[in-house]
Structure 1
Amino acid sequence: MQVQLLLVTMVCLIAVSPALARLIRLPAPTILFLAGCLLSAVPAAAHVELPPEAVLLIVLPVLLFWEGYSTSIHHLRRYWRPVLLLGVPLVVITAAAAAVAAHAAGLPWIAAWALGAAVAPTDASAVAAYARALPGRWMTVLRAESLINDGTALVVLAAVIAVSQGEAADGWSFGADLFRSYAFGLTAGLVAGMLGLLVLRRVVDPVVTGAVALALPFAAAVPAEAVHGSGVVAVVSCALTVSRRSRQVTAGRPRLQAYGFWEITTFLLGGALFVMSGLQVRRLFTAVDQATAVRLAAWGALITMVVLAVRVAWLFVCAWVIRLVDRRPVQRELRAPARTMLVLGWSGMRGGISIAAALTVPPVVAGTVFPDRPEILILTFMVVAMTLLVQGATLPLVIRWSRISTQHDDPQPAIRSVNQLLADRAVTALDQPTVRGDASPEIIERILADLRDERGRGGELSEHERHTARVRLRLLEHLRRELVTLASRNEVEDSVMWQVQERLDLEEARWSTLLGSAGSENSSDQPARAARDVVR
């Protein structure tokens, strides 16, 4: 019973974490990780484990798929070089540096390399949660890096485990394994994505559409792992494959429902991963004596500093090399100032994926106990804790200190330009019989008048229209309450209420989007916040 109460407490904490973050002025992942550490003092926490197989085979594909799906392909094409340099060679270099530091702490080389592979990759959910204040182009670099570096780290960890089993390993074999892992993973992801698009093109039921979308990351990861490819790379390539095309082949209603489903699912899974990571503190530190725990905690802080220093140094080295070999004017526009480079370095948070990777280290290999496995787990936990509690908590301050320019990331001019372009295309399309249908001339003229008005204002709302949107939102909120009241009095059947409520929700989404896009603040959740502010 205590375990069930603990799980209910976890879910409640995740649900209220955004409100707690605004109240305490700490990022939500930091609060959840600290809450997990505090909950570990509950006796029932000793029975709650972080199953690495579930994290790597279930949680990770879902989180990575949504992050990949919502990643800007335009920015990814522009910044592909830093993404690759951060996602592949930096992981190997970080693992090597962490292994040297861990060996200095007393771990044998095989255990030190296992630790290095676990702490080398950044965590996609942590980066997405902490770095939202960054401009879109740099957020894309960080997210894309975290999407592919897990695959590199898992290849390194697999090579370490293979060596512990007595297999010979060298640079050539590791390079071949890495190439095969990425090649097979890309192929499996592309195939799964194309097949998924074929299915989505023929599906009209929103429930089936959501189920197909949920199955896609597993349809990509499982075959990739079966042929010794990277399931992580397969999920990411599948998400990028369907990202744009699915928006063309899927109707608006299923897409709206699927978006809400993925937002809630990834929010809960990501939050659960942070809490579960914190819950491991008791289990890990009670496996060693007190003196060893204190020594490992100190070494964990040192390894964290090594990992951070390597990341910052690599960012500056990569920037210098790119500037040296590519002096084109277009490349100069992509350059980042020194303060921005420091922010990108400070944004490299580790998370539950690192702990799950460390837990995959087998206790016994080839009949021999894997050396210092408890020490590996504790040091990994310390690196994760330091990045979440120190880097994560101070990242907003570092971003403000850097004074990163968001001039090139303001979407409003582009939104107005696209709105005008679509209005022009709509006027032309109304001349086509397939679009006009059997509509009367009066209806066509009314639509043309609206389109001419849209072209004239370029997508901006006038003061009158903003007031109209606010009144509309307040009216929709009132109608929603009235609808629920009618249903509670049995004057309206529930199924009827749901259908009417869906229409009200779609109308609210339209007006809140218009009201939100009319503002100047560059935030992905501004339309929803605008609606909340109006209906309060």
Structure 2
Amino acid sequence: MFESQLVLIISLLFGTSMLSLLSEKLRISYPIILVIAGLGISLIPAMPRINLSPDIVFIIFLPPLLYSAAWHTSWKDFWNNRWPISMLALGLVIFTATGVAFVSNAIIPDFSLAFGFLLGGIISPPDAVAATSVLQGIRIPKRIVTILEGESLVNDASSLIVFRFALATVFTGTFTLWKAETDFLLVSGGGILVGLAIAHIVYAVHRFLPTTPSVDTAISLISPYLMYLIAEHFETSGVLSVVSGGLFLSFRSQDIYSYNSRLQVQSVWDTLVFLLNGVVFILIGLQLPDIVKGIGSYYLPEVIGYSVIISLVTIFIRILWVFPGAYIPRLLSKKIRQRETKPGWKQVFIVAWSGMRGVVSLASALSIPLTLTDGSGFPHRDLILFITFVVILFTLVLQGLTLPFVIRLLNIKAEDNEQEQELGIQYQISNAALGFIDAEYTEEVNNIEAFAQMRARYSRLAESADKKLEAEAKEKMFGFIPAYRKFLLQLVHVQRDELKKMRTEAKYSDELLRRKERELDLEEARLRK
């Protein structure tokens, strides 16, 4: 039994890797390929059924995925865009849940508003991984990416809270607005406090104890689970706990990690997140047979019709909210007009069209109890699960496949100041190095050739960056940088080829050759970044 389960898990991991390669070849976002592949695999008669438990999603998958997203989010950018992020992560979630509640109540027989809000809370949050993976490799303004990433960090928490309130209303038959508002503040605030408290403890361990790269990596893997489980134990938001703790530790990462710890932690997390993301999306597709089996008491074409209508409603509601939400606050607040640049309608539309749903919605639907308190079956559970699955598939495939085309059609391009900022950074750090050399090593520079050459190197770097920054023809300057980077990459490849020859000659130590090869790997990674 254990061996068959282990083989199944390994097969999923291997299949995820191979399908991701296929997505690279087809230039299609890998969540889309994986969900479709999962659907195809689930239709194979001899394929064993894999039931996706909500506990597995919320406890195993969600904490590290949220933590990784928070780690790669700039706190400065997050705070500067706090208003649009809040409008999407809080306002849009409630607006979507409300819209879906009334529409589903209107079109589905015997489907009360309480069940409508339950469904709305489930399908209201867009998926973080789907949006960022679709946008990966496409050059768009940084602000769009920041807003979408920031929204995805917070909207899971707000949607799960709406889901809990709706579920409680179904069980009790009552809903008190002031109590819901109070509970919302307590759950949210408590989760943030728990996350920050644990993050400060983790920070102290990294900062003041003699850790190693392996210990640092292990602690970084354990931290999101601690934040999530402790917050959930105290009945606060585990999602906000992980997000707040991850943002804090990311902001202080330069203080707590050595260079080798940073390299090792980043490599491990890149692999872990890739596998978790891949498995979670292929598992979504594999749920189809059980979901279809569950709606046996419903008329299938009618249920599909409900699902498509609600899918279209979720897309329309997002567009309906995003455009006024982008411009009305600017009209009402002078501070917002001064702090934020006015977004163009094209950028706003990209945010509106990036509403793909994912695994959190499916896990929420699966977590609906099978029975009510009196022992009777939970009404409409299978219908809600089927609609959720269709909404995920509909938005992921339709919006996910068309989003790159829409970006090209609207001719949206990233800001052109990235290279200029890179030159500015190079200029400042080179001057800092020159100042240190002149203050501490003047005698060595005058008497020892190696010191003099190093000073000359930093002097050339500072002078080169300064000249490029002052150049009048920016197009020419930016045209130079890709050619220069290509030149440096060619030098790395030449050196790596020479190392291969040295290894066959058996003239030098393998350890020294591996060390030099790692230096070249880091240099190539820096250049390609």
The 1:27–1:370 alpha-carbon spacing in structure 2 relative to 1, beyond 3 Å, is same
Match for 1:131 among 124, 135, 140?
Answer: 135
2:391 corresponds to 1:387? no
Q: Aligned letter for 1:506?
A: E
Superposition deviation, residue 302 in structure 1: 0.9
The 1:380–1:478 alpha-carbon spacing in structure 2 relative to 1, beyond 3 Å, is farther
Q: Tell me, what secondary structure is at the counterpart of 2:52?
A: coil
Match for 1:78 among 69, 80, 83?
Answer: 80
Describe how 1:459-498 pairs up with structure 2 within 5 A.
466-476=486-496, 479=499, 483=503
Contact kept? 1:6, 1:45, Cα under 8 Å: no
The normalised TM-score by structure 1 is 0.87
2:254 corresponds to 1:247? yes
| 2: CA distance, partners of 1:124 / 1:486 | 50
Summarize deviations over 1:347-366 as a string: whole Å, max 9, x none: 11101111011111111131
Summarize deviations over 1:208-235 as a string: whole Å, max 9, x none: 1101111111222122112221111111
Contact kept? 2:319, 2:352, Cα under 8 Å: yes
Superposition deviation, residue 446 in structure 1: 2.5
| 1: CA distance, partners of 2:336 / 2:177 | 37
Superposition deviation, residue 415 in structure 1: 1.0
The 1:339–1:480 alpha-carbon spacing in structure 2 relative to 1, beyond 3 Å, is same
Contact kept? 1:64, 1:236, Cα under 8 Å: yes
2:176 corresponds to 1:170? yes
Match of 1:17 in 2: 19
Superposition deviation, residue 500 in structure 1: 4.8
What residue ranges of structure 2 are gaps of 5+ in the alignment? 469-480
Summarize deviations over 1:75-96 as a string: whole Å, max 9, x none: 2122110001111121111111
The 1:316–1:479 alpha-carbon spacing in structure 2 relative to 1, beyond 3 Å, is same
Superposition deviation, residue 473 in structure 1: 2.5
Summarize deviations over 1:318-357 as a string: whole Å, max 9, x none: 1232121124595485222222211111111101111011
Contact kept? 1:473, 1:508, Cα under 8 Å: no
2:333 corresponds to 1:326? yes
Match of 1:122 in 2: 126
Contact kept? 1:436, 1:444, Cα under 8 Å: no
2:287 corresponds to 1:285? no
Superposition deviation, residue 440 in structure 1: 8.9
Match of 1:146 in 2: 152
2:365 corresponds to 1:345? no
The 1:7–1:182 alpha-carbon spacing in structure 2 relative to 1, beyond 3 Å, is same
Contact kept? 2:444, 2:451, Cα under 8 Å: no
Describe how 1:241-280 pairs up with structure 2 within 5 A.
241-280=248-287
Match for 1:93 among 78, 92, 95?
Answer: 95
| 1: CA distance, partners of 2:13 / 2:93 | 33
2:522 corresponds to 1:509? yes
The 1:213–1:497 alpha-carbon spacing in structure 2 relative to 1, beyond 3 Å, is farther
Contact kept? 2:187, 2:236, Cα under 8 Å: yes
Superposition deviation, residue 191 in structure 1: 1.3
Describe how 1:155-304 pairs up with structure 2 within 5 A.
155-166=161-172, 168-201=174-207, 202-289=209-296, 292-304=299-311
The 1:451–1:116 alpha-carbon spacing in structure 2 relative to 1, beyond 3 Å, is same
The 1:264–1:482 alpha-carbon spacing in structure 2 relative to 1, beyond 3 Å, is farther
Superposition deviation, residue 281 in structure 1: 0.7
Contact kept? 2:499, 2:513, Cα under 8 Å: no
| 1: CA distance, partners of 2:85 / 2:125 | 13
Q: Aligned letter for 2:114?
A: I
What residue ranges of structure 1 are gaps of 5+ in the alignment? 517-526, 528-536
The 1:60–1:464 alpha-carbon spacing in structure 2 relative to 1, beyond 3 Å, is closer
Superposition deviation, residue 131 in structure 1: 2.3
Q: Aligned letter for 1:292?
A: Y
Q: How many residues align?
A: 507
Superposition deviation, residue 254 in structure 1: 1.3
The 1:129–1:428 alpha-carbon spacing in structure 2 relative to 1, beyond 3 Å, is same
The 1:74–1:336 alpha-carbon spacing in structure 2 relative to 1, beyond 3 Å, is same
Superposition deviation, residue 49 in structure 1: 1.1
Match of 1:521 in 2: none
The normalised TM-score by structure 2 is 0.89
The 1:82–1:111 alpha-carbon spacing in structure 2 relative to 1, beyond 3 Å, is same
Superposition deviation, residue 285 in structure 1: 0.4
| 2: CA distance, partners of 1:46 / 1:109 | 37
Q: Tell me, what secondary structure is at the counterpart of 1:370?
A: coil
Contact kept? 2:134, 2:400, Cα under 8 Å: yes
| 1: CA distance, partners of 2:279 / 2:130 | 12
Q: Aligned letter for 1:372?
A: H
Q: Tell me, what secondary structure is at the counterpart of 1:289?
A: coil
Match of 1:403 in 2: 411
Superposition deviation, residue 479 in structure 1: 2.6
2:403 corresponds to 1:415? no
Superposition deviation, residue 130 in structure 1: 1.4
Match of 2:476 in 1: none
Superposition deviation, residue 262 in structure 1: 0.9
Match for 2:71 among 53, 69, 85?
Answer: 69
Contact kept? 1:193, 1:242, Cα under 8 Å: yes
Superposition deviation, residue 32 in structure 1: 0.5
Decide which moves more: 471-480 or 250-259: 471-480
Match for 1:370 among 375, 378, 402?
Answer: 378
Contact kept? 2:74, 2:251, Cα under 8 Å: no
The 1:381–1:45 alpha-carbon spacing in structure 2 relative to 1, beyond 3 Å, is farther
| 2: CA distance, partners of 1:169 / 1:503 | 66
Contact kept? 1:71, 1:144, Cα under 8 Å: yes
The 1:499–1:42 alpha-carbon spacing in structure 2 relative to 1, beyond 3 Å, is farther
Q: Aligned letter for 1:179?
A: L
Contact kept? 2:329, 2:336, Cα under 8 Å: no
Q: Aligned letter for 2:325?
A: C
The 1:5–1:35 alpha-carbon spacing in structure 2 relative to 1, beyond 3 Å, is farther
Superposition deviation, residue 497 in structure 1: 5.0
Describe how 1:26-37 pairs up with structure 2 within 5 A.
26-37=28-39
Superposition deviation, residue 51 in structure 1: 1.3
Q: Aligned letter for 2:61?
A: V
Match of 1:50 in 2: 52
Summarize deviations over 1:87-134 as a string: whole Å, max 9, x none: 112111111111222222233333322211110011111122112223
Match of 1:452 in 2: 459
Q: Tell me, what secondary structure is at the counterpart of 2:165?
A: helix
Q: Tell me, what secondary structure is at the counterpart of 2:172?
A: coil
2:114 corresponds to 1:105? no
The 1:237–1:329 alpha-carbon spacing in structure 2 relative to 1, beyond 3 Å, is closer
